[in-house]
């Protein structure tokens, strides 16, 4: 019997992670992610290539939308198995999915009203991809595992989760199979974190694997020195304070918002920035921050020590957590310098779009990006230097100062991905390079092939690999 691996997402693009493993009569789905690139979002509406009712289980690496965001649709269309993940991933995924459903319902209603007013139809259906009820229906299927706790999910099939160091609860997945009487190991990297980052522990290394699926978001570049992040952030805050402008930080609610708070807190304690109002305008980020506080066992030694001494990095003078719509609207009536941390991180929806609509044309303001911006997203248009962008149905000039700090990234760069792969004592039978834009994935695959002599493949959408 053949073992097959099918690539249904994050194949020569970054989002929409979805891989199907078929072995010994079992079908496993590794991740069930949402497509976020504008030109690929139509795939979210298509029927699943593998009928959901034929899947036996979902193995979830972590709780970012591009890895878990289609779970409610999968369940609505017939999946009834278990969704395996860590406890922290389960908690965060529930927050993320309910928030995504609410945003989709709100955005769909907003589009309906706007399109009716403008007498036109949009590119996508004027309805949510899934509802809050759909999201709630998938939550009982979550089944939690601890790191390094092997679980036999079927006869001859063992899964183990390992810390990826990417976001809280993020995992790399090791799948051990009995392939025609021969043992085989497949390792899915998930999103590989970075060494020496604050808050989280370093990524896990593996010594043996027959097949490896590795991400390549930054497989063609090396991040700037993390030591410069605080200097740049301090310069941004001080310059904005002198100009009397607002700082808009589109930020992922999971991990990125918490790291921004950590670094602002550090700068305040070191007296390198003035005390300015800092607003986390994302109910999801507020809730996720509370999950961080629930799991001190997953944090690195430095952060654990801070919390033990009563100096939580997620609480400092001038910080306010914003939950209600009324509080959010009031922010744009505030005067003086305000740091506004709001989702979504790629400006594809959520409250940050409303703040951008109000602030992006003001020369005194700053738009600071602290994460990856996928091709076609509003965030990518702004970071690419477009002088005008369409926000909430209106074209607006980009007069604000636009900056991007790549060092914040929770994704490993080329050197760090190489470091992760170097843990293997022997070459795998094949390395599949995924979760990267085409140039990034191909360049990293070529780099590994030349440097290490490994058999590398950059799969395309819906490619099927037969594992020997």
At residue 124, does pLDDT exceed 70? Answer: no
Instruction: Read off the pLDDT band of 217 (50, 70, 90).
Output: very high
Helix locations, 219-375, DSSP H: 229-243, 256-269, 283-294, 301-308, 325-331, 351-359
**Tell me, what's the pLDDT at 354?**
95
DSSP 10-79: SSSSSS--EEEEEETTEEEEE--PPP-SGGGGGGGGSPPSS-GGG--EEE----SHHHHTTHHHHHHTT-
Q: Do 88 and 169 meet the contact criterion of CB atoms below 8 Å apart?
A: yes
Whole-Å CA distances, 414 to 12, 195, 225: 16, 13, 14
What topology is assigned to 3-221+410-467 in CATH?
Metallo-beta-lactamase; Chain A (3.60.15)
Instruction: Read off the pLDDT band of 108 (50, 70, 90).
Output: confident
Is pTM, for the whole model, over 0.85?
yes
At residue 65, does pLDDT exceed 70? Answer: yes
C-alpha 197/C-alpha 192 separation (Å) is 12
Give me the mean pLDDT over the 155-177 stretch. Answer: 96
At residue 201, does pLDDT exceed 90? Answer: yes
Find residue 86's DSSP bridge partners.
Answer: 145
In the chain, which segments carry CATH 3.40.50.10890?
A: 226-408
In the chain, which segments carry CATH 3.60.15.10?
A: 3-221+410-467
At residue 347, does pLDDT exceed 90? Answer: yes
**Tell me, what's the pLDDT at 110?**
79
**Tell me, what's the pLDDT at 369?**
96
Q: How many CA atoms lie within 13 A of 82 on its CB side?
A: 9
Angle at 441 between CA 217 and CA 195, to 5 degrees: 40
Whole-Å CA distances, 395 to 112, 194, 361, 386: 19, 38, 11, 11
Mean pLDDT of the chain: 93
C-alpha 80/C-alpha 159 separation (Å) is 19
C-alpha 307/C-alpha 295 separation (Å) is 11
Q: Do 170 and 199 meet the contact criterion of CB atoms below 8 Å apart?
A: no
Rg for the chain, CA atoms, rounded: 22
What topology is assigned to 226-408 in CATH?
Rossmann fold (3.40.50)
At residue 50, does pLDDT exceed 80? Answer: yes
At residue 311, does pLDDT exceed 90? Answer: no
Report the share of the chain in percent with pLDDT over 90: 77
**pLDDT tens per residue, range 389-435:** 999 989 999 999 999 997 888 999 999 999 999 999 999 999 999 99
At residue 294, does pLDDT exceed 90? Answer: no
């Amino acid at each position: 019997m053949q073992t097959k691996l099918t690539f249904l997402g994050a194949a020569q693009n970054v989002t929409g992670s979805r891989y199907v493993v078929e072995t010994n009569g079992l079908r496993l789905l590794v991740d069930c992610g949402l497509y976020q690139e504008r030109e690929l979002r139509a795939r979210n509406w298509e029927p699943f290539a593998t009928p959901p009712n034929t899947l036996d289980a979902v193995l979830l690496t972590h709780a970012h939308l591009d890895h878990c965001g289609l779970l409610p649709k999968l369940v609505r269309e017939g999946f009834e198995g278990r969704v395996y993940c860590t406890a922290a991933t389960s908690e965060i995924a529930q927050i993320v999915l309910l928030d995504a459903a609410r945003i989709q319902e709100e955005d769909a209603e907003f589009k309906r009203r706007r399109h009716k007013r403008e007498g036109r139809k949009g590119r996508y259906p004027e309805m949510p991809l899934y509802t809050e009820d759909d999201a709630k229906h998938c939550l009982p299927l979550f089944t939690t595992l601890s790191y390094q706790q092997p679980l036999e999910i079927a006869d001859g099939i063992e899964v183990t989760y390992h810390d990826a160091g990417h976001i809280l609860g993020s995992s790399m997945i090791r799948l051990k199979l009995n392939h025609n009487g021969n043992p085989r190991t497949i390792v899915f990297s998930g999103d590989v974190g970075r060494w020496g980052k604050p808050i989280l522990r370093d990524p896990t290394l593996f010594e043996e694997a027959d097949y490896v699926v590795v991400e390549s978001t930054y497989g063609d570049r090396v991040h700037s020195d993390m030591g410069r992040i605080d200097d740049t952030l301090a310069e941004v805050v001080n310059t904005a304070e002198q100009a009397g402008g607002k700082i808009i930080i589109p930020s992922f609610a999971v991990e990125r918002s918490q790291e921004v708070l950590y670094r602002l807190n550090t700068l305040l304690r070191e007296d390198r920035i003035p005390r300015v109002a800092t607003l986390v305008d994302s109910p999801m980020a507020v809730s996720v921050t509370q999950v961080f506080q629930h799991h001190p066992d997953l944090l690195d030694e430095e952060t654990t020590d801070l919390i033990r001494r009563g100096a939580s990095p997620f609480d400092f003078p001038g910080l306010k957590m914003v939950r209600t719509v009324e509080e959010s609207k009031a922010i744009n009536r505030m005067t003086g310098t305000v740091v506004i941390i709001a989702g979504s991180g790629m400006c594809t929806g959520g409250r940050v779009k409303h703040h951008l609509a109000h602030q992006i044309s003001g020369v005194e303001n700053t738009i600071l990006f602290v994460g990856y911006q996928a091709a076609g997203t509003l965030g990518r248009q702004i970071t690419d230097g477009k002088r005008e962008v369409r926000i909430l149905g209106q074209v607006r000039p980009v007069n604000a100062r636009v900056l991007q700090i790549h060092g914040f990234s929770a994704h490993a760069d080329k050197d760090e991905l190489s470091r992760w792969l170097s843990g293997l004592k022997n070459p795998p039978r094949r390395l599949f390079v995924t979760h990267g834009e085409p140039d990034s994935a191909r360049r990293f695959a070529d780099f590994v092939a030349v440097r290490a002599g490994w058999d590398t493949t950059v799969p395309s959408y819906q490619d099927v690999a037969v594992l020997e």
